[in-house]
């Protein structure tokens, strides 16, 4: 699977975990040069508190387009630090 935005491959892995229809990419499969830490947070009742990244490619910013769970609840431990995408980031095989 690949996560692509603005013709840049943000993440690529054969080992994504699908949760609620979203592909979560392993931490080491993500190209960190395209991610900038965001102050945005959200709360999921069963996964816990999500942290976000802005996706930045060629000086264009897609705010809060990636998220992850640094300290998830027990039910979501298997996706600790895995990164998922939305807001126009294309996920394809």
Question: In the prediction, which pLDDT does 31 show?
Answer: 98
How far apart (Å, rounded) are the C-alpha atoms in residues 71 and 73? 7
Question: In the prediction, which pLDDT does 88 show?
Answer: 97
3-state secondary structure of 34: helix
Average of per-residue pLDDT across 3-25:
98
Question: In the prediction, which pLDDT does 60 show?
Answer: 97
pTM: 0.96
Tens of pLDDT, residue by residue over 27-85, are 999 999 999 999 999 999 999 999 999 999 999 999 999 999 999 999 999 999 999 99
Q: Does domain 2-92 have CATH number 2.170.150.40?
A: yes
Question: In the prediction, which pLDDT does 10 show?
Answer: 98
């Amino acid at each position: 699977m690949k996560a692509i935005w603005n013709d840049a491959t943000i993440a690529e892995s054969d080992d994504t975990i699908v949760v609620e229809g979203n592909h979560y990419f392993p931490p080491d499969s993500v190209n960190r040069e395209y991610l900038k830490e965001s102050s945005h947070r959200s709360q999921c009742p069963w996964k816990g508190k999500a942290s976000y990244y802005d996706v930045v490619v060629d000086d264009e910013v897609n705010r809060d387009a990636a998220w992850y769970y640094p300290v998830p609840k027990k039910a979501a431990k298997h996706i600790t630090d895995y990164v998922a995408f939305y807001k126009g980031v294309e996920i394809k095989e």
